[in-house]
Amino acid sequence: MSGGRLDPLLQPRSIAIVGASARVGSPGNEVLVNLRKGAYAGAVYLVNPARDAIGGLPCFASLAALPEVPQHVVFAVNDSRLEACFDEALALGVEAATVFSGMVIPGEGAHDVPAPDLRAPATPGLARRIRQKAQAAGMLLHGGNSMGFFNFRGGVWISGFDTRAHGHPGNAVLLSQSGAGMSGIMDCEERLDFLFAASTGQELCLSVEDYLDYALDQPETRVIGLFLETSRHPQRFIAALEKARRRRVPIVVVKVGRTELAARLVVSHSGALAGSDAVFAALFERYGVQRVDDMAQLAATMILFSRAGPLPPGGLATMHDSGGERQLAIDLADELGVDYPALNAASVERLQGILDAGLPAVNPLDAWGSGGAEAGRYMESCFVALMQDPGVAIGAVVHDRGPGGGIYASYLQYLRGAHAATGKPVCLVANCAGSGSDPQVVAATRAGFPVLDGLREFQVGARSLMAYRDFLAREEDPPPAAAPDIVHYWREQLRGGDDLDEARAGQLLRDFGIAIVAGTSFDGPAVPPGVLHTARFPVVLKTAQAGIAHKSDVGGVVLNLADAESLERACVEMSARLGPSLMIAPMVTGAGVEMILGIARDSQFGPTVVLGLGGVYAELLRDTAVLLPPFGPAAARRALRGLKMYGLLGAVRGRPALAVEAFCQMASRLSVLAIELADCIAEVDINPVRLMSDECIGLDALLVRTGSKE
């Protein structure tokens, strides 16, 4: 197993343990124990001036006393001694190192470790000094504050903590920015055979992006699980996700930090709606990353991806031995958005010829009948018939464990029979946790018949398999192209000037093909004759005063002015209250739904597009989605279908369906603008967009330049 650039760290020819110890359970001892568990084939050197030998290996007084310069040094010493030992390694030209500790020296402050947002601390503490020295020397440094890594193919187990014995190398990779996030699965989930696992810790030099890229270069990798807090190198993270898409390697992620811990200074509604978690969700949607909620779901989903074969078209089918538990499956599926397809007529007829009286032939299926000597063959026949339905892609027998957490051999026969008859992936699932260490459970899972604990966890995993299948099959339509002369003109207009008023912002958007009501600006309180002459009543009066971003919040919008007299009165009143800069626009009166469409800038991933239900739905329900630009209309359609209030856009109580396709086209054009003017525009807010049965049009536009002081 070769990683090229990372070989000195992950597949070294020799390893030295500085701080080697005979004390059982100490990091200096566990490193040696783990190297022996993994059957590391290279040279191992122990550095401890107070000992002659440990575990049958001689000890040396220092790194300089070793018979050769080790390629990789593991530091298992107190932080007060770490820097001197590290300097010695650098002086010898050591290529790679691992540090487990947090590298905090009393008196230097506990917050000297680089923060996730990469803001430099005021005091250069030990962690920062170690990072600077390693980077200057070109050393590959793993950690600190890490539980290490495990190269199972190469037999390199670098960890200062106890871990379970692992069998043969597998096809699953686990990368975690949390130490417990790695050990919590790797040490407890025997149904997963790992190829590589790493706790990336503080990521002083090497980050999760490095290990993700490395794992994707291994031909054995079949699934990658991530426990993710943040990305320190967003563009490299995107490049790795693109590589995973090309190589058809699914990535399953637990992304923590859904809530915003720090307030963001934004001007537009769009900026307020595009929090960092929403941007990560957009990133995952674009690249087919399957997001789960917790560690149990991560493990279950990784098991399914690592063991189940390719999915045919269709949904999920499950067979139960309880009507109540079948109902639980239905309720969970509704909550999780899992597809249980209805059975076709042939399947219903086939099942009706097998099922005991009174049991309906439906999916999910309660097949438990009268029992008897032929109960096993009867249940197998039911499951085979269920799986033969052409609308079923994956199935499970949902039966609880036996005493002591074991499983009955007859359950596995149901799976074998259905798989032999259909070739479709099948699983055994318990409603409650059983025993993943049961030898029969592990053997069945490794044989391609996954045995899982928890109906919710299984349904999340099955949903992920189906979603990833659909992601690989979907065809994207390209975003529209922007005219080069338009892009050049507006880039010149936006550089170095003030923010555009609403009339000019509307013109910019219209030049990119985005339908916005055209307004006319003027200085009040009197309405110029030319403006009055061309006005088409009814009209809307708005303040155009600089510095007022949200006009309605200050009474800066007056609707439905029916004639010249009412317009003139409103101009006098608004000028006196908010200032003389005014604008009028035609009043759009068609029935429809208010939408929101905008651009926001993420500090890590750059411009994003926000779309969804506008007005109260955006502000109170936050019924919006975030997408990464550019994208075609199909991506906008998928995002809209995921909204809670999506049903409002269809035909409702005699009102025809709304022009959703026109809105998707508008969103796609805005995504092109977001990319083409990314260096000039920080935020755009088109709120509301009036979506009607025959068209959609933006009624208000706010644009904030990059670097604006709004």
Token couple for 128 = 């920062």
* Phi, psi (degrees; rounded to nearest 5) at 480: -70, 155
Residue 142's DSSP bridge partners are: 98
C-alpha to C-alpha distance for 340 and 459, rounded to whole angstroms: 11
Q: Across the chain, what does the average pLDDT equal?
A: 90
Report CA 81 to chain centroid distance, whole Å. Answer: 39
Report CA 461 to chain centroid distance, whole Å. Answer: 15
pLDDT tier, 708 (very low <50, low <70, confident <90, very high otherwise): low
Percent of the chain at pLDDT exceeding 70: 93
Q: What is the pLDDT of residue 188?
A: 79
pLDDT (mean) for 520-545: 92
Q: What is the pLDDT of residue 372?
A: 62
pLDDT tier, 285 (very low <50, low <70, confident <90, very high otherwise): very high
C-alpha to C-alpha distance for 101 and 67, rounded to whole angstroms: 27
Q: What is the pLDDT of residues 39-68, one digit of tens each?
A: 999 999 999 999 999 999 999 999 999 999
Does residue 2 have a pLDDT over 70?
no
pLDDT tier, 330 (very low <50, low <70, confident <90, very high otherwise): very high
Which residues have C-beta within 8 Å of that of residue 541, sequence separation ≥ 6? 557, 558, 561, 567, 570, 571, 574, 582, 583, 584
Does residue 168 have a pLDDT over 90?
no
Kindly list the distances between the CA atom of residue 349 and the CA atoms of 322, 342, 486, 573, 679, in Å, as whole numbers in the listed order.
22, 13, 63, 75, 63
Which residues have C-beta within 8 Å of that of residue 127, sequence separation ≥ 6? 102, 103, 104, 112, 113, 114, 144, 202, 204
**Cis bond before residue 144 (omega within 30° of 0):** yes
SS3 (DSSP) at 420: helix
Highest mean pLDDT: which range of 105-114, 193-202, 269-278, 608-617: 193-202
Which residues have C-beta within 8 Å of that of residue 30, sequence separation ≥ 6? 159, 160, 161, 162
Does residue 280 have a pLDDT over 50?
yes
Token couple for 495 = 């550089």
What is 309-473's CATH topology? Rossmann fold (3.40.50)
Do 593 and 655 form a contact (C-beta atoms < 8 A)?
Answer: no
Report CA 547 to chain centroid distance, whole Å. Answer: 37
Instruction: Name which residue leads in pLDDT, 81 or 620.
Output: 81
Q: What is the pLDDT of residue 709?
A: 47
Q: What is the pLDDT of residue 270?
A: 41
Element spanning 319, H or E = strand 315-320
Do 194 and 152 form a contact (C-beta atoms < 8 A)?
Answer: yes
What is the DSSP secondary-structure string of 519-572? -EEEESSSPPHHHHHH--SSEEEEE--TT-S-GGGGT-EEEEE-SHHHHHHHHH
pTM of the model: 0.90
Does residue 110 have a pLDDT over 80?
no
pLDDT tier, 142 (very low <50, low <70, confident <90, very high otherwise): very high
Instruction: Name which residue leads in pLDDT, 622 or 307.
Output: 307
Residue 320's DSSP bridge partners are: 366, 398
pLDDT (mean) for 616-625: 78
pLDDT (mean) for 134-146: 96
Q: What is the pLDDT of residue 399?
A: 93
Element spanning 158, H or E = strand 156-158
Which residues have C-beta within 8 Å of that of residue 578, sequence separation ≥ 6? 543, 545, 548, 554, 555, 556
Element spanning 186, H or E = helix 179-186
Does residue 334 have a pLDDT over 90?
yes
The CATH 3.40.50.720 portion of the chain extends over: 4-250+288-292
pLDDT tier, 413 (very low <50, low <70, confident <90, very high otherwise): very high
Q: What is the pLDDT of residues 631-665, one digit of tens each?
A: 999 999 999 999 988 998 998 877 899 999 999 99
C-alpha to C-alpha distance for 221 and 195, rounded to whole angstroms: 7
pLDDT tier, 271 (very low <50, low <70, confident <90, very high otherwise): very low
Does residue 249 have a pLDDT over 80?
yes
pLDDT (mean) for 549-556: 84
Residue recorded with tokens 């990305």 = 231
C-alpha to C-alpha distance for 306 and 425, rounded to whole angstroms: 12
Does residue 245 have a pLDDT over 80?
yes
Least confident of 220-224, 444-448, 587-591: 587-591
Does residue 438 have a pLDDT over 90?
no
The CATH 3.40.50.261 portion of the chain extends over: 309-473
Q: What is the pLDDT of residue 545?
A: 87
pLDDT tier, 591 (very low <50, low <70, confident <90, very high otherwise): confident
Highest mean pLDDT: which range of 108-117, 434-443, 555-564, 652-661: 555-564
Element spanning 668, H or E = helix 660-676
Report CA 162 to chain centroid distance, whole Å. Answer: 30
Q: What is the pLDDT of residue 84?
A: 96
Q: What is the pLDDT of residue 264?
A: 44
C-alpha to C-alpha distance for 710 and 705, rounded to whole angstroms: 9
Does residue 420 have a pLDDT over 80?
yes
Residue 543's DSSP bridge partners are: 582
Q: What is the pLDDT of residue 184?
A: 85
Q: What is the pLDDT of residue 124?
A: 56
Task: Give the neighbor-by-neighbor strand order of the sheet with 315-320.
Answer: 365-366, 315-320, 392-398, 426-430, 451-453
Ordered alpha helix ranges (H), 356-454: 375-387, 409-422, 439-446
Q: What is the pLDDT of residue 269?
A: 43
pLDDT (mean) for 404-430: 93
Does residue 4 have a pLDDT over 50?
yes
pLDDT (mean) for 587-599: 90
Kindly list the distances between the CA atom of residue 414 and the CA atoms of 376, 411, 662, in Å, as whole numbers in the listed order.
8, 5, 50
Percent of the chain at pLDDT exceeding 90: 74
C-alpha to C-alpha distance for 197 and 659, rounded to whole angstroms: 49
C-alpha to C-alpha distance for 395 and 319, rounded to whole angstroms: 8
Of the candidates 290, 288, 261, the residue with the CA atom closest to the CA atom of residue 275: 261
pLDDT tier, 517 (very low <50, low <70, confident <90, very high otherwise): very high
Q: What is the pLDDT of residues 65-95, one digit of tens each?
A: 999 999 999 999 999 999 999 999 999 999 9
C-alpha to C-alpha distance for 440 and 442, rounded to whole angstroms: 5
Which residues have C-beta within 8 Å of that of residue 275, sequence separation ≥ 6? 260, 264
Of the candidates 647, 649, 612, 645, the residue with the CA atom closest to the CA atom of residue 627: 612
CB-count burial class (<10 Å; 0-12, 13-18, 19+) for 309:
exposed
pLDDT (mean) for 547-558: 85
Ordered alpha helix ranges (H), 230-389: 234-247, 269-273, 276-287, 295-307, 323-336, 345-352, 375-387
Q: Which CATH code for domain 4-250+288-292?
A: 3.40.50.720
pLDDT (mean) for 112-135: 68
C-alpha to C-alpha distance for 9 and 7, rounded to whole angstroms: 5
What one-character DSSP code corresponds to residue 514? Answer: -
Q: What is the pLDDT of residue 267?
A: 41
Q: What is the pLDDT of residue 696?
A: 95
- 194-199 and 581-586 strand pairing: unpaired
SS3 (DSSP) at 394: strand
Does residue 310 have a pLDDT over 90?
no
Does residue 112 have a pLDDT over 80?
no
pLDDT tier, 373 (very low <50, low <70, confident <90, very high otherwise): low
